[in-house]
C-alpha cells in the first residue's frame, strides 16, 4: 500500500458497462430478502446466492462532493453517494454501514457534542438501494471505543446524581470538568473497573465487571435501535457485527476474584481442585483455600491447569457477553442476525467455537484469506452463513475478481470489500491514487463468473462426499499458549488434505466429547499434534474406531488431558511411530512426521480406507505433483464443475486429470467472463471454450496465483442448455491439448521474462520458497515511542528512529518472498530485536532483548535460506560479528553462519552496499522512502540433502543491535 502510488488513469470514455446493458437476471431484485438454507448458504428470495458486497462507513453520506479533477466519463462514480445503479454496474449486491455513535451521548455523557452524521441522507440512500444491510460497530479508539476514562461517564443505573456543572450555558446539567467535581468512582459516575485492564485490542470496556458489560450491551442495543430507525420497515439490517478484531485477556484483580468464585462453584472444595489440577503438564503449587487463587496468578509454580481454567473463564465471559448482546438485538428485531469479526483465526481468550455456537453468522478473520482459516470457518459455520466484513482486494481487476472468487469457492456467502470511501487510505476505492475505476470491474466479473457456476458452488453442500475429518482441538490450542506445542500440526494436516485434493471437514472436539454421531459421518479421522483433549474425546474416538473407523495419529498419542497431564482415557499412549494396529472393526495408525512427510502418509492412510483424491495435477515442468493448487469439485444434475485456484508463488503449467467425471460422451468446458469493447462500448462478454484432453486424458492448463478458473463437464445437450448462445456470448473453438500447452508455455515464459526484467539480486522460483514463521519469536515493533525505555520498538531511540512504512504480508524483497508480520495480528510484535550493549534492559513487564533465540522451526530441506535483517549502531572501522544464525539439522549436526557488519549485514538507518557485501551475497532487501530498511542475505546450505530441523539466533552482544525481520527457505 504505502509507497506504491499508481499513476492515475485518465478516462476519455467510461470504462464501465452501462446500467442498461446489465441483463435482468443479473440485477439484484430491489427489496430482495435473505434467508438461510439448511446447509448454511444464503438464499435470495428462496434461491442460492453469493453476494459480492462492499462496506462504506464513517460518513459516506458526506462523500462524493463535486470535484474539478475527475473526468466527465467517470464523474458518475466519484460524485455523489452510493446508489443502486452504481452498485449494480460494479456487480455489488450488498452493503454495510457504520452504527451511529449517538448512544454514548444519550446514555453516558449528555454534555458531549453530536456526532457528524446525516441520518436523513443515509436513510434515503439505504431506501434507494433496496439491498440487505450489514451494521458494523467497531469499538476502535476513534469510534465506538471513544468512551474514555476522562469522560467520567454517568452511571445509567445511578440512584443519586453527581454534582451539577458549575459553568453557565451548558445544555446538560452534568459535565466532565474536574473542577466541577467530575471523577470516576464517585456517586453517579462509572467505576474505573468498567474499563479493560491489561492488553486489549478494540475492547476498551471490561467483559467481567458488570458496568463494563453493561456498556457493551447498551452499545449494541442502541446502535441496533438507531440502525433500524434509518432503514425502511421492510428492510431492517440483516446482520449486526457486534465486535471487530476484539482481543481482551483481562487480568485485573476483579477478574481474578471472579475466577476464584467460579472455581469454587465448579469444584466445591479446594481438595477437589487440588486433586484435579495435580494432573497437569507442569506446576506443583497446591492451594489451601479458594481465596489463594487470585494471588497465585503471578506464581510461576502454579499448575498449568490454573492457566487453562483461567483462559476458559475468559472465553466464557466473552462468549456469554456476545450471547447477551444478541438477545438484546433480537428483542428489537427477532429476524436480526449477529456475528463478530476476529482479528486472527487464533486469539487467546476467545474460543471461536463457543462464541459462534450462540451467533447466527460466522465472520472470517480480518482479510479473510487462507485455505486453513476457510476450512476452520466452514467447520465453525456448520449450517450458518460465512461472511467476510473486511476483505482486502488489492488494486487490479484480477486481484479484485480473485479476492471475491477465492472466498466464494471456499464456501463464503457474502464478501464485503474494504471499502467504498474517499480519502487518502490505501484501502479506499474512491482514492484514485490507489485504484482505478476500471479495476473495480473485478467485482462485476466475479459476479458473472459466479452466475456461470451458481448451482454448483453456491450451496455449501456440493454433491461430493467428505469422508475425512481433521480434528481441531481447542484444549491443544490452549496448552500451546503455555509451552506445549503441537497445535501447528493441525495446519499442516489441513493444508496437505487441501492441496492433495482429499475432500475433508474440520471438526471440533466440542462436537465429539459425548457422542460418536459427528464422527460417524467419516471414514478417516486425522489427529495431528493433539497434545491435550477434553474429557470424553478419547473415549468417543475409541468407540468410533471399534465400530470401523480409521484413526490417523500424526505427532500425537492422544495421551494428554485438558491440562497436558496424563489422560486416563487414552488408548494409544504407547504406540510407536510407524505402528498400525487393529482395534475392534477399525484401525489406528501412528507416525511422527516432518512437514514434508505428511502427504504420502495421509494419502496412504486414506487409500486404505477407500478414499482417493478427487483429481490429480502434475507440473509440466518438473513432472511431479503440482503444489499449492486448491481444487473444489461440485456435482449437480448429472454435471460436474471444478473451481481451480493456485495458491503457489508463481505461474505453473499443469496437467489436470479430473477423475471419474469426464469420459465418453462428456465434454470439458472452460467458462469465464470479461469486459470487452464492442461497437465502441464496454460490455460484459461470456466466453466458453471446450478443452480437449491429451492421449492420457489430461487437460493442460496454465495457472496464475489468484486467478480462479471454472470448468464444467457434461454431455453436449446439458452444456448447450446450461450455456446457451447469446449476443454477448463467445464460443471459442475447441482447444487441443497441444495448443493449450503451447499457449501455456508462452505465458510461463512471459512471466519468467518479467521476473528477469526486474533484475532482482536473486532469481528464485517463487513456487519453491517457503517463509519461516517467526511470529512466536519476535519481540518488538518497527515503531518506537520513547527513547531508552526498553519498550516498544526497533533500536529504542524514540519515534524518530523507527522503521516506518513496512508492509504487511508476503512481499518480494529483491526477488525473494519475505513474510512481514502484521503487528496487530501478532500481539503487537513484528520484529526481533536482540541484546546489545547499546540497549537498556527491558523492564520486568516487557519481553527481554534475548541473547539467544532457540528452536525456530524450519522442518524442510533447503538449498538456501534467505534472511531479511539489519543492525543498529553499526560499527565503523572494523569488521565484527553482530549475531550468528545456527542451522540445526535433523541428524543433530549444526552449521553456524555469523553475520558481520560490511559483510552479511549492515546498518538499517541508511541502506548501502559495499563490494564485500555483494560478494557475500548480501543485497538491499527492503527500504522505505527515506532509504531506511533491511538487507537480504543468502545463506547457501552446504548440506541440502539433510532436513533442517530448526534455527537458533545468537547475539554477539556488541554495540551492534541485531534486527531480524523475516527468513525464507528455498527448497532444493
Residues in contact with Zn ion by the rule CB under 5 A = 165, 167, 175, 177, 180
Work out how close the CB of 175 gets to Zn ion at its nearest, in angstroms, rounded to a whole number: 3
Peptide bond into 419 cis (omega under 30): yes
Q: What is the Cα–Cα distance from 802 to 816, expressed in whole angstroms?
A: 24
Give the rounded distance of the alpha carbon of 852 from its chain centre. 30
Between CA 760 and CA 816 the distance in angstroms is 8
Closest to 704 measured CA to CA, from 399, 261, 345, 340: 399
Query: 47 or 166: whose CB is closer to Zn ion?
Result: 166
Per the CB < 8 A criterion, the answer to whether 476 and 487 are in contact is: yes
Least distance (Å) from Zn ion to the CB of residue 195? 22
Q: Find the shortest distance in angstroms from Cβ 165 to Zn ion.
A: 3
- Contact present, 789 and 796 (Cβ < 8 Å): yes
Rank residues 173 and 423 by Cβ distance to Zn ion and give the closer one.
Answer: 173
In the 3-class helix/strand/coil scheme, how is 179-203 assigned residue by residue?
HHCCCCCCCCECCHHHECCCCEECC
Q: Which is nearer to Zn ion, 180 or 847 (CB)?
A: 180
Map residue 374 onto helix, strand or coil: helix
180 vs 743, beta carbon nearer Zn ion? 180
Tell me the C-alpha distance between 96 and 133, whole Å: 5
One DSSP character per residue, 573-624 reads TTPPTT-EEEETTEEEEEE---GGGHHHHHHHHHHHTT---S-EEEETTTSS
Q: Rounded to the nearest whole angstrom, what is the least distance from the CB of residue 182 to Zn ion in the complex?
A: 7
The answer to whether 895 and 888 have CB atoms below 8 angstroms apart is no
- What separation, in Å, do the N-terminal and C-terminal C-alpha atoms of the chain show? 32
Q: How far is the CB of 151 from Zn ion (least distance, A)?
A: 13
Shorter beta-carbon distance to Zn ion: residue 168 or 334: 168
Closer Cβ to Zn ion, 167 or 624, answer by number: 167
Min CB(114)–Zn ion separation in Å: 19
**Beta carbons of 322 and 203 less than 8 angstroms apart:** no
Query: Least distance to Zn ion from the beta carbon of 113, Å?
Result: 15
Instruction: Write the burial class of residue 273 (CB in 10 Å: 0-12 exposed, 13-18 middle, 19+ buried).
Output: buried
In the complex, what is the shortest distance from the CB of residue 148 to Zn ion, in angstroms, rounded to a whole number? 17
Q: How far is the CB of 193 from Zn ion (least distance, A)?
A: 24
CA pair distance 546, 535, nearest whole angstrom: 19
Shortest distance (Å) from residue 201 CB to Zn ion: 33
Q: For the beta carbon of residue 507, count every other beta carbon within 10 angstroms.
A: 19
* Residue 164 beta carbon to Zn ion: minimum distance, rounded to whole angstroms: 8
Query: 21: which DSSP letter?
Result: G
Q: Please give the Cα distance from 271 to 286 (Å, whole number).
A: 9
Q: 550-554 and 586-591 as β-strands: parallel, antiparallel, unpaired?
A: parallel
- Report, in Å, the least distance between residue 186 CB and Zn ion: 14
- Whether 135 and 329 have beta carbons less than 8 Å apart is answered as no
The residue (of 164 and 716) whose beta carbon lies closer to Zn ion is 164
Q: Which is nearer to Zn ion, 175 or 248 (CB)?
A: 175
Indicate the residue among 6 and 184 with the shorter CB distance to Zn ion.
184
Greatest distance between any 2 Cα atoms in the chain: 91
- Asked if 460 and 40 touch (Cβ cutoff 8 Å), the reply is yes
Work out how close the CB of 69 gets to Zn ion at its nearest, in angstroms, rounded to a whole number.
46
* Least distance from Zn ion to the Cβ atom of residue 317, Å: 35
Nearer to Zn ion, 176 or 530 (CB): 176
Q: For 673, phi and psi rounded to 5 degrees?
A: -135, 150
Cα distances from 562 to residues 502, 593, 653, 767, in angstroms, run 30, 24, 47, 39
Q: Beta 133-136 vs 239-244: how paired, if at all?
A: parallel
Nearest-5° Cα angle at 368, 362 to 372: 90
CA distances (Å), origin 28, targets 89, 125, 497, 577: 11, 16, 37, 56
Closer to Zn ion by CB, 178 or 198: give it. 178
- Cβ–Cβ < 8 Å for 883, 866: no
Q: Which is nearer to Zn ion, 170 or 775 (CB)?
A: 170
Q: Which is nearer to Zn ion, 21 or 186 (CB)?
A: 186
Give the residue with the Cβ less far from Zn ion, 180 or 184. 180
Q: Which is nearer to Zn ion, 152 or 833 (CB)?
A: 152
Cell numbers at 265, concatenated: 462453584
Q: How far is the CB of 218 from Zn ion (least distance, A)?
A: 24
CB closer to Zn ion, 175 vs 215: 175
Residue 259 Rama label (left phi>0; alpha psi -120 to 50; beta): alpha
Amino acid at each position: 500500500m504505502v509507497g506504491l502510488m499508481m499513476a492515475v488513469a485518465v478516462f476519455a470514455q467510461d470504462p464501465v458497462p452501462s446500467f442498461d446493458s446489465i441483463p435482468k437476471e443479473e440485477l439484484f431484485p430491489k427489496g430482495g430478502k435473505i434467508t438461510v438454507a439448511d446447509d448454511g448458504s444464503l438464499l435470495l428470495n428462496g434461491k442460492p446466492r453469493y453476494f459480492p458486497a462492499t462496506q462504506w462507513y464513517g460518513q459516506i453520506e458526506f462523500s462524493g462532493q463535486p470535484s474539478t479533477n475527475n473526468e466527465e466519463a467517470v464523474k458518475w462514480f466519484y460524485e455523489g453517494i452510493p446508489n443502486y445503479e452504481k452498485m449494480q454496474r460494479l456487480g455489488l449486491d450488498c452493503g454495510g454501514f457504520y452504527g451511529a455513535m449517538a448512544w454514548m451521548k444519550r446514555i453516558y455523557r449528555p454534555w458531549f457534542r453530536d456526532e457528524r452524521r446525516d441520518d436523513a441522507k443515509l436513510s434515503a440512500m439505504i431506501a434507494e438501494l433496496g439491498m440487505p444491510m450489514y451494521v458494523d460497530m467497531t469499538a476502535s479508539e476513534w469510534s465506538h471505543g471513544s468512551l474514555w476514562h476522562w469522560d467520567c461517564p454517568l452511571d445509567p443505573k445511578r440512584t443519586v446524581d453527581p454534582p451539577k456543572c458549575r459553568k453557565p450555558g451548558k445544555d446538560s446539567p452534568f459535565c466532565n470538568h474536574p473542577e466541577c467535581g467530575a471523577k470516576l468512582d464517585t456517586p453517579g459516575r462509572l467505576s474505573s473497573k468498567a474499563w479493560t485492564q491489561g492488553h486489549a485490542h478494540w475492547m476498551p470496556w471490561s467483559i467481567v465487571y458488570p458496568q463494563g458489560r453493561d456498556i457493551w450491551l447498551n452499545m449494541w442495543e442502541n446502535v441496533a435501535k438507531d440502525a433500524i430507525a434509518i432503514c425502511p420497515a421492510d428492510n431492517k439490517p440483516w446482520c449486526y457485527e457486534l465486535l471487530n478484531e476484539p482481543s481482551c485477556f483481562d487480568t485485573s484483580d476483579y477478574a481474578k476474584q471472579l475466577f476464584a468464585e467460579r472455581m469454587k462453584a465448579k469444584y466445591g472444595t479446594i481438595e477437589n481442585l487440588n486433586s484435579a489440577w495435580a494432573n497437569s503438564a507442569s506446576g506443583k503449587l497446591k492451594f489451601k483455600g479458594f481465596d489463594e487463587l487470585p494471588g497465585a496468578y503471578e506464581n510461576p509454580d502454579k499448575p498449568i491447569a490454573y492457566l487453562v481454567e483461567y483462559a476458559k473463564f475468559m472465553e466464557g465471559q466473552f462468549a456469554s457477553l456476545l450471547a447477551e448482546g444478541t438477545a438484546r438485538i433480537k428483542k428489537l428485531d427477532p429476524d436480526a442476525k449477529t456475528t463478530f469479526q476476529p482479528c486472527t483465526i487464533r486469539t487467546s481468550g476467545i474460543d471461536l467455537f463457543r462464541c459462534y455456537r450462540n451467533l447466527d453468522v460466522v465472520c472470517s478473520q480480518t482479510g479473510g484469506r487462507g485455505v486453513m482459516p476457510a476450512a476452520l470457518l466452514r467447520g465453525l459455520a456448520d449450517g450458518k452463513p460465512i461472511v467476510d466484513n473486511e476483505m482486502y482486494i488489492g488494486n487490479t481487476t484480477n486481484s479484485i475478481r480473485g479476492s471475491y472468487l477465492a472466498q466464494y469457492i471456499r464456501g463464503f456467502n457474502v464478501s464485503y470489500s474494504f471499502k467504498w470511501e474517499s480519502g487518502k487510505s490505501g484501502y479506499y476505492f474512491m482514492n484514485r491514487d490507489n485504484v482505478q475505476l476500471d479495476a473495480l470491474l473485478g467485482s462485476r466479473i466475479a459476479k458473472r463468473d459466479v452466475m456461470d457456476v451458481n448451482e454448483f458452488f453456491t450451496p455449501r453442500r456440493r454433491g461430493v462426499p467428505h469422508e475425512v475429518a481433521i480434528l481441531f482441538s481447542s484444549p491443544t490450542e490452549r496448552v500451546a499458549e503455555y509451552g506445549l506445542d503441537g497445535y501447528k500440526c493441525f495446519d499442516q494436516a489441513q493444508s496437505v488434505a487441501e492441496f492433495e485434493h482429499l475432500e475433508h471437514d474440520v471438526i471440533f472436539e466440542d462436537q465429539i466429547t459425548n457422542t460418536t454421531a459427528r464422527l460417524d459421518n467419516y471414514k478417516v479421522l486425522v489427529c495431528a499434534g493433539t497434545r491435550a483433549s477434553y474429557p470424553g474425546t478419547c473415549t468417543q474416538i475409541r468407540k468410533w474406531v471399534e465400530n470401523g473407523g480409521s484413526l490417523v495419529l500424526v505427532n500425537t498419542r492422544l495421551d494428554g488431558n485438558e491440562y497436558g497431564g496424563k489422560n486416563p482415557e487414552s488408548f494409544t499412549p504407547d504406540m510407536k511411530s510407524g505402528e498400525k494396529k487393529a482395534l475392534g472393526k477399525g484401525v489406528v495408525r501412528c507416525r511422527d512426521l516432518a512437514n514434508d512427510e505428511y502427504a504420502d502418509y495421509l494419502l496412504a492412510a486414506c487409500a486404505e480406507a477407500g478414499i482417493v483424491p478427487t483429481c490429480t495435477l502434475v507440473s509440466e515442468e518438473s513432472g511431479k505433483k503440482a503444489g499449492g493448487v486448491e481444487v473444489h469439485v461440485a456435482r449437480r444434475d448429472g454435471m460436474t464443475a471444478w473451481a481451480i485456484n493456485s495458491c503457489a508463488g508463481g505461474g505453473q503449467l499443469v496437467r489436470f486429470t479430473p477423475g471419474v467425471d469426464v469420459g465418453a460422451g462428456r465434454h470439458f468446458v472452460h467458462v469465464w467472463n470479461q469486459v470487452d469493447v464492442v461497437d465502441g462500448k464496454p460490455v460484459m462478454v461470456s466466453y466458453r471454450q471446450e478443452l480437449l484432453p491429451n492421449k492420457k486424458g489430461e487437460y493442460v492448463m496454465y495457472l496464475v496465483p489468484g486467478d480462479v478458473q471454472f470448468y464444467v463437464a457434461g454431455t453436449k445437450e446439458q452444456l448447450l442448455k446450461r450455456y446457451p448462445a447469446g449476443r454477448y456470448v463467445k464460443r471459442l473453438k475447441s482447444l487441443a491439448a497441444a495448443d493449450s500447452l503451447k499457449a501455456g508455455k508462452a505465458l510461463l515464459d512471459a512471466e519468467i521474462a518479467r521476473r528477469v526484467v526486474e533484475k532482482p539480486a536473486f532469481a528464485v522460483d517463487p513456487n519453491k520458497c517457503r517463509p519461516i514463521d517467526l511470529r512466536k519469536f519476535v519481540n518488538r515493533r518497527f515503531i518506537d515511542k520513547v527513547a531508552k525505555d526498553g519498550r516498544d520498538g526497533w533500536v529504542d531511540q524514540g519515534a524518530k528512529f523507527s522503521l516506518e512504512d513496512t508492509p504487511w504480508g508476503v512481499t518480494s524483497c529483491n526477488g525473494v518472498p519475505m513474510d512481514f508480520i502484521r503487528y496487530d495480528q501478532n500481539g503487537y510484535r513484528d520484529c526481533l530485536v536482540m541484546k546489545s550493549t547499546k540497549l537498556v534492559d527491558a523492564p520486568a513487564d516487557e519481553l527481554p532483548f534475548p541473547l539467544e533465540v532457540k528452536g525456530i522451526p524450519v522442518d524442510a530441506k533447503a538449498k538456501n535460506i534467505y534472511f531479511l535483517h539489519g543492525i543498529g549502531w553499526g560499527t565503523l572501522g572494523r569488521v565484527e560479528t553482530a549475531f550468528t544464525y545456527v542451522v540445526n539439522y535433523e541428524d543433530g549436526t549444526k552449521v553456524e553462519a555469523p553475520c558481520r557488519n560490511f559483510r552479511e549485514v549492515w546498518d538499517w538507518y541508511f541502506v548501502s552496499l559495499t563490494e564485500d557485501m555483494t560478494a557475500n551475497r548480501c543485497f538491499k532487501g527492503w527500504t522505505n522512502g527515506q532509504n531506511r530498511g533491511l538487507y537480504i542475505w543468502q545463506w547457501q546450505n552446504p548440506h541440502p540433502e539433510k532436513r533442517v530441523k530448526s534455527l537458533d539466533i545468537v547475539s554477539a552482544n556488541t554495540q551492534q543491535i541485531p534486527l531480524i525481520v523475516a527468513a525464507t527457505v528455498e527448497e532444493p
